[in-house]
Chains A and B, each alone.
Chain A
Amino acid sequence: MAGNFWQSSHHQQWILDKQDLIRDRQHDLAKLSEEEYQKIFNFFASIIQVLGEQLKLRQQVIATATVYFKRFYARNSLKCIDPLLLAPTCVFLASKVEEFGVISNSRLITTCQTVIKNKFSYAYGQQEFPYRTNHILECEFYLLENLDCCLIVYQPYRPLLLFVQDIGQDDQLLTYAWRIVNDSLRTDVSLLYPPYQIAIGALHIACVMLGKENLKPWFAELNVDMDKIQEIVRSIINLYEMWKSYDEKKEIQSLLGKMPKPNPAPQR
């Protein structure tokens, strides 16, 4: 559905206020620093990305799954549902919404098992993917409830294509900006800003990287709140800065150890 973003549930319910977001994370931020919190999300965004690629989903579907994941934890603590369960559940739900053929339950579980074993052993060691179909299906109901049934997510990819067309087709610029949009999924920007602003932010960074001074007038003519664009740019640049000094393979196990965990039912 192309639809109208301004009348969408995305715009009306899911562009969050930064202060609210920070407040709602208090429980988790008592146990994790903001940077640690971001590193954990980075990790699960990678799991969603790899799962999606293994299942041959389009980037649009993967991005939607990642946004579901972020929306759930924007309102809930990491301890409410194990993110290792919520991540594949988001992929499953997004693939159905985006109408890309049904992923069979068994194929989803098998893919989770292989991906965790082959690509994320640095985090989980010899531990196998612990969940089965019934866990995913139950989790899916909780996810849908927490999303308030808002399943259509607008992504920056389409506006990005339109902007690049407007600038005059530039494949290198598009490739760079596209990757930056992918990277932006590892930040909070998809919770805080409309997708067209994220697209402009990504273009801005791509222009700086490619030294495209000549596009300054194009940006100047845009009728957008440049402060917002600068905030988006800062969030993404901060991510790149963090990556420079971060070795996920070494640190993730201890981060996952520190992560708030669900409590089981009290023993009778």
Chain B
Amino acid sequence: MGDNFQSNKTMASVMMDYEFKMKTQNERSKVEDLFDYEGCKVGRGTYGHVYKARRKDGSDTKDYALKQIEGTGLSMSACREIALLRELKHSNVINLIRVFLSHTDRKVWLLFDYAEHDLWHIIKFHRAAKANKKSVMVPKGMVKSLLYQILDGIHYLHSNWVLHRDLKPANILVMGEGPERGRVKIADMGFARLFNAPLKPLADLDPVVVTFWYRAPELLLGARHYTKAIDIWAIGCIFAELLTSEPIFHCRQEDIKTSNPYHHDQLDRIFNVMGFPQEKDWEDIRKMPEHATLVKDFKRSNYQNCSLSKYMDRHKIKPDSKAFSLLQRLLLMDPNRRITSEQAMQDPYFSEDPLPTQDVFAGCPIPYPKREFLTDDDQEDKSDSKARQNQQQQQQPNTQQNQVQANSHDHAANNAKRMRMSGPNQGNAGGGGGQQEFHQQQQMMFGGQQQGAGSQQQGNFQQRF
């Protein structure tokens, strides 16, 4: 469909001036002329593909992230993403540097700064270490610094009336070595997801993307509109996951293809952690569209012994700690009572020692591996989406899917998708142990199973970059 509009000679009018067209064509720079990115894919998902890129002319040696938007042309979500990112400017929100429109194949490319890490990988790393009874050395205040910067970025978005709508660890990026070392970048706002019925069920493409774990209870009960409070709930979930290395509202996700927002198992999981909400705690719960289903499906008495403080206590977070008290304010069931990002940033947790730092790694070596490159094997990948879905469930603490795990190893081996473990930080990861500024995050560290932990990651390496 590219450039053949003038071939229709019978048309009464000429649509575009030839000279104008040639001039624009000559001035337009092509992404492939300016950047090297072949073979450097670091992410894929419903949103498209992300590559790690370098400038060809060597005018700088920085890494960039090039995102090729899924599909062709300007979908509504692409339009929203370009329109909003063009205006947003905050140190904790991903920065859109440039847009490339490729007229011949009608592809849209977005150029961003490259973020080496994200919370999905960081948490996964800690969990793998924990499973192997190893420890990871990170600064004592890292979780606090991460949370503070997430809140700062969300506060900026919210004060501009931009809702994220899809906050989860994979969308919270952290900058690696460089001038912005250890800085949080919020990425992949759920542009237009609410209004834009995807052509394909999201589940077909990317199981991680449609996780319900970070969904606020009101959404699960049929709330029709996204709100700031929904983003805050997700931040609460991420905070808990950072503290414990486990997704707090972890839930099996077999029927993720459902279009119904009501999700029994996910609600059950939330009540198992939080307890069943009392009328006085959430008065408007009766107004929720799915309230009748809730009453029919759930018995308060089943959750009598559940509370957030007990859950967190089991994970070694004391109910009298400042961290717990802030978590509780973020994870209030009633959206109207949940605190705002601004209030959260004023919480005493952040004025207590250790204070949050701009570099979440506080100048310490970064223990996490760099992103691996993915092979360009889309065919195989789509047919394999079922396997990836299963692999995702391996994240679960009590996985019983040994067989699938074995498969995933094969899968990884076949594709020779190798983790890049070479980073300069790697050797230092264990160093400096026992020093005061280090805090042994529970009991974790990548063990002899590096290969295994790495390959588990292979198939479902689909977070937003």
Query: What residues make up the interface of A, taking CB atoms closer than 8 Å to B?
Result: 1-4, 7-9, 76-77, 79-82, 84-85, 93, 96-97, 99, 101-102, 127, 130-131, 134-135, 137-142, 144-145, 149-152, 261-266
Contact A4 B19 (CB under 8 A): no
If A82-B15, A96-B79, A102-B76 touch, whether A4 touches B160 (CB-CB below 8 Å) is yes
Contact B80 A81 (CB under 8 A): no
Cβ-closest 5 pairs across A and B:
A151-B83, A262-B17, A80-B20, A96-B79, A2-B161
If A9-B87, A99-B76 touch, whether A264 touches B14 (CB-CB below 8 Å) is yes
Proximity string of chain B (1-37) to chain A, C-beta cutoff 8 Å, 1 when within and 0 when not: 1110110000111111111100010001000000000
A99 to B3, CA, bound (A): 29
**What residues of chain A lie closer than 8 Å to B84, measured between beta carbons?**
1, 152
Q: Does B312 contact A (CB under 8 A)?
A: no
A158 to B75, CA, bound (A): 27
If A127-B12, A263-B14 touch, whether A134 touches B5 (CB-CB below 8 Å) is yes
Q: List 5 A-B contacts (CB under 8 A).
A: A3-B161, A82-B16, A99-B80, A138-B1, A141-B103
Contact B195 A264 (CB under 8 A): no
Q: Does B224 contact A (CB under 8 A)?
A: no
A133 to B20, CA, bound (A): 21
**What residues of chain B lie closer than 8 Å to A84, measured between beta carbons?**
13
Q: Does B192 contact A (CB under 8 A)?
A: yes
Contact B83 A152 (CB under 8 A): yes
**What residues of chain B lie closer than 8 Å to A8, measured between beta carbons?**
87
A79 to B162, CA, bound (A): 38
A79 to B13, CA, bound (A): 11
One of A1, A145, A151 near B162 (C-beta < 8 A) = A1
A155 to B91, CA, bound (A): 28
Task: Find the B residue at minimum CB distance from A264.
Answer: B14
One of A80, A97, A131, A150 near B79 (C-beta < 8 A) = A97
A93 to B73, CA, bound (A): 11
A41 to B2, CA, bound (A): 29
Task: Quote the shortest CB–CB distance from A22 to chain B (angstroms).
Answer: 21
Task: State the total of A-B contacts with C-beta under 8 angstroms.
Answer: 120
**What residues of chain A lie closer than 8 Å to B14, measured between beta carbons?**
82, 261-264
If A131-B15, A138-B2, A262-B14 touch, whether A81 touches B196 (CB-CB below 8 Å) is no
**What residues of chain B lie closer than 8 Å to A76, measured between beta carbons?**
20
If A93-B79, A102-B196, A144-B101 touch, whether A135 touches B5 (CB-CB below 8 Å) is yes
If A82-B14, A130-B12, A265-B6 touch, whether A149 touches B161 (CB-CB below 8 Å) is no
Contact B80 A142 (CB under 8 A): no
Contact A139 B16 (CB under 8 A): yes
Task: Quote the shortest CB–CB distance from A113 to chain B (angstroms).
Answer: 14
**What residues of chain A lie closer than 8 Å to B192, measured between beta carbons?**
99
One of B20, B89, B99 near A149 (C-beta < 8 A) = B99
Task: Quote the shortest CB–CB distance from A57 to chain B (angstroms).
Answer: 14
Candidate in B13, B15, B103 with the most chain A CB atoms within 10 angstroms: B15
Interface of A: prevailing SS: loop
Q: Does B364 contact A (CB under 8 A)?
A: no
**What residues of chain B lie closer than 8 Å to A4, measured between beta carbons?**
160
Candidate in B82, B87, B162 with the most chain A CB atoms within 10 angstroms: B87
Task: Find the B residue at minimum CB distance from A12.
Answer: B87
Contact B20 A9 (CB under 8 A): no
Query: What residues make up the interface of B, taking CB atoms closer than 8 Å to A?
Result: 1-3, 5-6, 11-20, 24, 28, 73-76, 79-80, 82-84, 86-87, 89, 99, 101, 103, 106, 160-162, 192, 195-196
Contact B18 A96 (CB under 8 A): no
A138 to B15, CA, bound (A): 10
**What residues of chain B lie closer than 8 Å to A149, measured between beta carbons?**
82-83, 86, 99
**What residues of chain B lie closer than 8 Å to A137, measured between beta carbons?**
1, 73, 106
A250 to B414, CA, bound (A): 73
A141 to B107, CA, bound (A): 10
One of A1, A80, A85, A264 near B87 (C-beta < 8 A) = A1
**Given A84-B13, A97-B83, A144-B99; 13 other pairs, CB 8 A cutoff:** A4-B160, A7-B89, A9-B86, A82-B16, A99-B192, A139-B16, A140-B74, A145-B28, A151-B79, A152-B86, A263-B18, A264-B18, A265-B18
Contact B74 A81 (CB under 8 A): no
Task: Quote the shortest CB–CB distance from A265 to chain B (angstroms).
Answer: 4
A99 to B89, CA, bound (A): 21
A63 to B372, CA, bound (A): 46
Contact A96 B195 (CB under 8 A): no
Candidate in B2, B3, B17 with the most chain A CB atoms within 10 angstroms: B17
Task: Find the B residue at minimum CB distance from A138.
Answer: B5
**What residues of chain B lie closer than 8 Å to A262, measured between beta carbons?**
13-18, 20
Task: Find the B residue at minimum CB distance from A145.
Answer: B101
Task: Find the A residue at minimum CB distance from B83.
Answer: A151
**What residues of chain B lie closer than 8 Å to A9, measured between beta carbons?**
86-87
Contact B86 A150 (CB under 8 A): yes
**What residues of chain B lie closer than 8 Å to A266, measured between beta carbons?**
18
A263 to B14, CA, bound (A): 7
A141 to B102, CA, bound (A): 9
A240 to B293, CA, bound (A): 60
Task: Quote the shortest CB–CB distance from A82 to chain B (angstroms).
Answer: 5
A150 to B17, CA, bound (A): 23
If A97-B79, A142-B24, A151-B83 touch, whether A80 touches B99 (CB-CB below 8 Å) is no
Task: Quote the shortest CB–CB distance from B427 to chain A (angstroms).
Answer: 43
Contact B24 A145 (CB under 8 A): yes
Task: Quote the shortest CB–CB distance from A88 to chain B (angstroms).
Answer: 12
Contact B15 A139 (CB under 8 A): yes
**What residues of chain A lie closer than 8 Å to B74, measured between beta carbons?**
93, 96, 140-141, 144
Task: Quote the shortest CB–CB distance from A150 to chain B (angstroms).
Answer: 6
**What residues of chain A lie closer than 8 Å to B196, measured between beta carbons?**
102
**What residues of chain A lie closer than 8 Å to B5, measured between beta carbons?**
134-135, 138
Task: Find the B residue at minimum CB distance from A92.
Answer: B74
One of B20, B28, B76 near A96 (C-beta < 8 A) = B76
Contact B160 A3 (CB under 8 A): yes
